[in-house]
Amino acid sequence: MSTSRLLSPLHLCGKSASLHRHKSAVSVSVRSLLCSENQKSHRMMASYQPSLSIDNINPNVKVMEYAVRGPLVIRAGEIEKELEKGVKKPFKEVIKANIGDCHAMGQQPITIIRQVLALVSYPKLLDDPRFPEDAKERARTLLKGCRGGSMGSYTDSPGIEVIRRHVAEYIERRDGIPADWQNIVIGGGASDAIKNVLKILICPIDGKKPGVMIPIPQYPLYSATLAEFNMAQIGYYLDEANNWGLSVDELQRSITEARKTCAVRAIVVINPGNPTGQVLTKQNIQEIVKFAHKEKLFILADEVYQHNIYDPNSEFHSFKKVMHEMGEPYSQMELASFMSASKGYMGECGLRGGYAEVLNMHPDVRAQYLKAITAMLCSTTLGQACLDVIMNPPQEGEPSYELYLKEKTSVLESLKVRAKMVADTFNSMEGFSCNTVQGAMYAFPQFKLPPKAIEAAKAKNQAPDAFYAFELLESTGICVVPGSGFGQRPGTHHFRTTILPQTDKLKDMLDKFAEFHAQFLKKYS
Amino acid sequence: MSTSRLLSPLHLCGKSASLHRHKSAVSVSVRSLLCSENQKSHRMMASYQPSLSIDNINPNVKVMEYAVRGPLVIRAGEIEKELEKGVKKPFKEVIKANIGDCHAMGQQPITIIRQVLALVSYPKLLDDPRFPEDAKERARTLLKGCRGGSMGSYTDSPGIEVIRRHVAEYIERRDGIPADWQNIVIGGGASDAIKNVLKILICPIDGKKPGVMIPIPQYPLYSATLAEFNMAQIGYYLDEANNWGLSVDELQRSITEARKTCAVRAIVVINPGNPTGQVLTKQNIQEIVKFAHKEKLFILADEVYQHNIYDPNSEFHSFKKVMHEMGEPYSQMELASFMSASKGYMGECGLRGGYAEVLNMHPDVRAQYLKAITAMLCSTTLGQACLDVIMNPPQEGEPSYELYLKEKTSVLESLKVRAKMVADTFNSMEGFSCNTVQGAMYAFPQFKLPPKAIEAAKAKNQAPDAFYAFELLESTGICVVPGSGFGQRPGTHHFRTTILPQTDKLKDMLDKFAEFHAQFLKKYS
């Protein structure tokens, strides 16, 4: 793999931006996996030249990268297959700490969510006395909201009306201020909802490429989508020394540089942070809002981890609420806030449910935004149904309430313990420093590498953090994502690990990690 | 509504293409619906100017239209709400014949599909003796294919391996030739799968805009997606006089004209046809393949209606099979074939399951294509599970086989009756001619309008077919889609109606339709 060069945020703007580029060795690895069983058709092709070649396909797709499913993860998949085939390794299983995939790591589904899904899928079960009445009531309401009473019908493109109403009620309860169900647009996961908003912003201004401010480090959905849309990525560094908070000075530096070459249209804030795990203070949010107002930016608030707060000194403040409390003109600013069924205590990643609440968009723009999603018809009804239960959970007095509360609390309490365990362990390791995991599902520790390791990485044409992560994977089966996939200050090394392995397994993983690190330091000292 | 101008296919290429443009009155209608409850925030905005205006958002989104969910359908929704509020109308309900939404029109789900969905959603039901063993076995296999044994986990981006294998086996059974599961990419509906392939083609060649050949009339997903991607729409007319067949002369005319201004990269063929209902003969497919070979085009075969064949003289031939039988070099050409869980006998539109089989793509291109879908993580697991049952239906001897066969046959037999009923009725109406509905779910009759009606449409600034469809909707509650939404030869008038209302309701609808038409002719004679 070639050096994963991190372009400084200044340089990203105006380029066909990619936070990191992997070449040669990686391509080979990708190809070997993707094409192993296509050798035959490849050979056959010799006599027929395909119309598509690497030189005449979408250039934006070519520069796009998505590290959470990148080459390291592909190698992890290969190792899993090798283990299945009985290949001897110094470990028995791959631990996928690369992706926030809760159920894959042993988290159990919330019972009432799954009961409602079973009921709406197969309504004959509505007669089954073993299903609680509150699950049945929710299922009946959902079926009534579907044309022909079936989850098999298309819904309105922004989602089933009754679910959009439940989302609005959830937001009202959360923030204590009104929410309009017509501002809710349900998507196939938050990723889908985010892409649909970013898409609207694709428009050069005065010949300048449109750009969006994103945190560095960031969740690679943003870098991948901006690359696909040929929009400039305008990175602003999070302040690692200040527990990954946002500094207005840095926002100002970033936008000032960017404006030289591109039209800055929006700012993305991820709170709680991914991959960084910080929870923004109300004051920090106010500063960001004032900055966005001054610079006339559309705000995208990625708030999918709003249930995942572990630090007793931290509290989740929604951008909507803070902006409302700040009063005019801030309360009138454009805002899209995103939420997902995939994270929180439910972790229903595979079902694909999420929403955007879009505020203060000009009605003409709003009409175009809503029109743009119609051609994809609607998001999955069962993903929508899952979202519904999260938005409209059992209330005290309902038959499922106690079980629901127990399940929810148990997941969140356990994540809290794991968040602390992960940060503490890394902080106990030589050369590591890890901020408190206040929220979300990840730690993003910084680590120092001995010069010999950096040389060894260079010799292998790899970024030092990727070199480290590959050695970790091959030695222990632990799969993390190198910091270069998210962005980091030049010269620093990080990786993202989830805190999702169940407690015993996590403890085991961290023990192995510490052992590996000690060996690694010894090897390259 | 302004005249829905149909640009001739020649003129489409190179423009920021939209098959039809609706302005003024339509925008008002869209806005009144979308923004009725946002008046307050709109007024509030007076003191804050939003950053996004109609002049600085994505221009491709602005030109994009999706007639199946267009202004007429929005008006139909308004009428439904008026009826609910007790507003008096000459009819009691809106009949939505505008969209292929099977369950919404009363079609019942296939039992085993829904049983499997319930089982995988709530695996406790695996102990329930009332579920048949073959449903349980399928559910267990699917859960085993999911990480952590849960549908809540992310899957590989192209889908769950075991489902991809079942898709390949389905294709092998269908065509009698081998299929490789690694060529199968599951998406959130065929629409998603189609967009992901078209996306790869976005690349100007020698400064010329990339373009894709699409039939006229066509399914508006294609025009909408090409508009969004800023690709040229290169229309080729289907031959209405020849039951909507494809003529190579017309393909040649179309590509020759298009090449003057754009780079033609691919050809879309919809078989069975939407909105036209034809089933292509093997000979016709061979001619298209030879044409694509000569012109070096990537073939996109939209085969989502492969189960919907009604004419005893018609048979479904997959492009893959025909190309295989033609031998080299045709068997080596690039092909993407699409299939969906939304159509056929199952009609599970809301669950969002579909696949692409992608053949003979260059491995480097294929790697990019697969990479491009990773940032959206994966398509919905329950949509995938639904697709699995369709690909791996009960076999003779399995407990669910008889019920499954009865349900499937009953839907398809009834659609066959309805297909004939619709075409026969239209052909009995003055000024109408309707081709045999050989397959799919639609009729696309041509009708002549008296000069006075055309003048009245002009006075209302409407396309004549839209004028007719609006009058039909307001008088009878029947909602069809004007031909201008799909494209038609200039000066001709059509609409698309589904054949999906259940038989009694369809008969009633057609009676009303005939009555309306007689009145309409009288009024404008």
| Nearest by Cα to A473 from A513, A521, A434 | A513
Residue with tokens 């038959």: A399
In the prediction, which pLDDT does A68 show? Answer: 67
Which secondary structure element, helix H or strand E, spans residue B236, and what is its range?
strand B232-237
Which secondary structure element, helix H or strand E, spans residue B496, and what is its range?
strand B495-498
Are B200 and A69 within 8 A, CB to CB?
Answer: no
Is B42 or A463 the better-scoring residue by pLDDT? A463
| A241-255 residue pLDDT tens | 999 999 999 999 999
DSSP symbols for B329-367: TGGGS-EEEEEESSSTTT--GGG--EEEEEES--HHHHH
Residue with tokens 């020649």: B10
Correct CATH for A176-379 of 3.40.190.10, 3.40.50.620, 3.40.640.10, 3.40.50.300:
3.40.640.10
Say yes or no to pLDDT of A374 above 60. Answer: yes
Across chain A, mean pLDDT equals: 90
DSSP symbols for B453-491: HHHHHHHTT--HHHHHHHHHHHHH-EE-EEGGGT---TT
Are B351 and A195 within 8 A, CB to CB?
Answer: no
Are A364 and B195 within 8 A, CB to CB?
Answer: no
A418 SS3 class: helix
Nearest CA in chain A to B299: A51
B224 CB near a chain A CB, below 8 Å?
yes
**Cα–Cα dist B76/B89, whole Å:** 13
Question: Is A260 buried (19+), middle (13-18) or exposed (0-12) by CB count in 10 A?
Answer: exposed
Residue with tokens 């009306």: A161
AA identity, residue A113: I
User: Tokens for A98?
Assistant: 């690369």
Cβ atoms of A343 and A191 within 8 Å: the answer is no
B-chain CB neighbours of A42 within 8 Å are 363
Which secondary structure element, helix H or strand E, spans residue A423, and what is its range?
helix A401-427
DSSP symbols for B102-146: TGGGTPPPPHHHHHHHHHHHSGGGGG-TTS-HHHHHHHHHHHHTS
Cβ atoms of A81 and A75 within 8 Å: the answer is no
Are B54 and A348 within 8 A, CB to CB?
Answer: no
Mean pLDDT of A149-175: 97
Nearest CB neighbour to B199, from listed A61, A146, A375: A61
User: Tokens for A206?
Assistant: 């005065």
Nearest CB neighbour to B203, from listed A37, A57, A69: A57
In the prediction, which pLDDT does B28 show? Answer: 33
A-chain CB neighbours of B203 within 8 Å are 56-59
Are B151 and A351 within 8 A, CB to CB?
Answer: yes
| Nearest by Cα to B217 from B483, B498, B426, B490 | B483
Place A176 in a pLDDT band, splitting at 50, 70 and 90. very high
In the prediction, which pLDDT does A47 show? Answer: 64
**Residue A364, min C-alpha distance to chain B (Å):** 6
Domain ranges of chain A: 9-106+409-523, 176-379
User: Tokens for A303?
Assistant: 């708030």
Are A328 and B371 within 8 A, CB to CB?
Answer: no
Place B457 in a pLDDT band, splitting at 50, 70 and 90. very high
| Nearest by Cα to A434 from A423, A448, A442, A449 | A423
Mean pLDDT of A417-423: 97
Are B45 and A117 within 8 A, CB to CB?
Answer: no
* From A20-24, A80-84, A316-320, A415-419, the region with the lowest mean pLDDT: A20-24
| Nearest by Cα to A187 from A153, A212, A160 | A160
Residue B93 has phi, psi (to 5 degrees) of -150, 155
In the prediction, which pLDDT does B376 show? Answer: 79
Cβ atoms of A263 and A205 within 8 Å: the answer is yes
Say yes or no to pLDDT of A475 above 90. Answer: yes
User: Tokens for A118?
Assistant: 């079973």
Q: What is the complex's ipTM, to 2 decimals?
A: 0.91
DSSP-derived letter for residue B19 is: S
B102 CB near a chain A CB, below 8 Å?
yes
Are B228 and A375 within 8 A, CB to CB?
Answer: yes
Place B438 in a pLDDT band, splitting at 50, 70 and 90. very high
| B86-127 residue pLDDT tens | 999 999 999 999 999 999 999 999 999 999 999 999 999 999
DSSP-derived letter for residue A150 is: -
Are A64 and B372 within 8 A, CB to CB?
Answer: yes
AA identity, residue B506: L
- Overall residue count recorded for chain B in this entry: 525
Say yes or no to pLDDT of B5 above 60. Answer: no
B61 CB near a chain A CB, below 8 Å?
yes
Arch. (CATH architecture) of A9-106+409-523:
Alpha-Beta Complex (3.90)
Are A31 and B296 within 8 A, CB to CB?
Answer: no
Of A5-9, A60-64, B146-150, give the range with the top mean pLDDT: B146-150
Are B148 and A365 within 8 A, CB to CB?
Answer: no
Beta strands in A330-475 (DSSP E): 335-340, 354-359, 432-433, 442-443, 446-447
**Residue B32, min C-alpha distance to chain A (Å):** 10
| Nearest by Cα to A364 from B492, B154, B38, B490 | B38
Mutate to test the interface with B, among A105, A186, A304, A377 (most CBs of B within 10 A): A377
B169 CB near a chain A CB, below 8 Å?
no
Across chain B, mean pLDDT equals: 90
Q: What CATH number was assigned to the domain covering residues B67-106+409-523?
A: 3.90.1150.10
Mutate to test the interface with A, among B186, B192, B365, B386 (most CBs of A within 10 A): B365
Place A22 in a pLDDT band, splitting at 50, 70 and 90. very low
Q: Which residues are CB-contacts of A175 (< 8 A; sequence separation ≥ 6)?
A: A318, A320, A321, A324
DSSP-derived letter for residue B43 is: H
B-chain CB neighbours of A346 within 8 Å are 152
User: Tokens for A105?
Assistant: 């790591």
User: Tokens for B180?
Assistant: 């490789």
A153 SS3 class: coil
User: Tokens for A485?
Assistant: 């996939």
B residues 317..336 contacting A (CB < 8 A):
328-329, 332-334
Percent of chain A at pLDDT exceeding 70:
90
**Cα–Cα dist B140/A208, whole Å:** 54
User: Tokens for A166?
Assistant: 């439940």
| CA B397 to chain CA mean position, Å | 35
**Cα–Cα dist B319/B336, whole Å:** 9
**Residue A72, min C-alpha distance to chain B (Å):** 14
HSE value, Cβ hemisphere, 13 Å, CA-based, for A370: 27
User: Tokens for B243?
Assistant: 């039951």
Are A27 and B122 within 8 A, CB to CB?
Answer: no
Are A54 and B297 within 8 A, CB to CB?
Answer: no
**What's the order of all strands across the beta sheet hosting A481-482?**
A442-443, A495-498, A481-482
Percent of chain B at pLDDT exceeding 70:
90
Nearest CB neighbour to B34, from listed A27, A147, A367: A367
B residues 360..419 contacting A (CB < 8 A):
360-372, 374-383
Place A65 in a pLDDT band, splitting at 50, 70 and 90. confident
**Residue B524, min C-alpha distance to chain A (Å):** 34
**Residue B46, min C-alpha distance to chain A (Å):** 9
| B28-78 residue pLDDT tens | 333 333 434 444 444 444 567 899 999 999 999 998 877 767 788 889 999
Are B66 and A371 within 8 A, CB to CB?
Answer: yes
Nearest CA in chain B to A44: B332
Residue A156 has phi, psi (to 5 degrees) of -55, 150
User: Chains A and B: how many Cβ contacts under 8 Å?
Assistant: 370
In the prediction, which pLDDT does A31 show? Answer: 37
Which secondary structure element, helix H or strand E, spans residue A479, and what is its range?
strand A478-479
Nearest CB neighbour to A189, from listed B64, B361, B377: B377
In the prediction, which pLDDT does B47 show? Answer: 64
Residue A472 has phi, psi (to 5 degrees) of -60, -45
A152 CB near a chain B CB, below 8 Å?
yes
**Cα–Cα dist B432/B494, whole Å:** 9
User: Tokens for A188?
Assistant: 């196939």
**Residue B123, min C-alpha distance to chain A (Å):** 9
**Residue B313, min C-alpha distance to chain A (Å):** 31
User: Tokens for A308?
Assistant: 């995942």
B-chain CB neighbours of A53 within 8 Å are 362, 364-365
A28 CB near a chain B CB, below 8 Å?
no
Are A114 and B99 within 8 A, CB to CB?
Answer: no
Radius of gyration of the CA atoms of chain A, in A: 23
**Cα–Cα dist B60/B229, whole Å:** 7
Are A52 and B122 within 8 A, CB to CB?
Answer: no
User: Tokens for A114?
Assistant: 């799954």
B-chain CB neighbours of A265 within 8 Å are 51
HSE value, Cβ hemisphere, 13 Å, CA-based, for A139: 24
Measured between alpha carbons, how far is residue B38 from residues A117, A363, B105, B317 in Å? 32, 8, 32, 51
Arch. (CATH architecture) of B155-391:
3-Layer(aba) Sandwich (3.40)
Mutate to test the interface with B, among A146, A222, A352, A388 (most CBs of B within 10 A): A352
DSSP-derived letter for residue A11 is: H
Question: Is A144 buried (19+), middle (13-18) or exposed (0-12) by CB count in 10 A?
Answer: exposed
**Cα–Cα dist B49/B51, whole Å:** 6
Q: Is the dihedral of CA A105, A110, A113, A119 positive or negative?
A: positive
Asked if A9-106+409-523 and A176-379 have one fold, the answer is no
DSSP-derived letter for residue B45 is: G
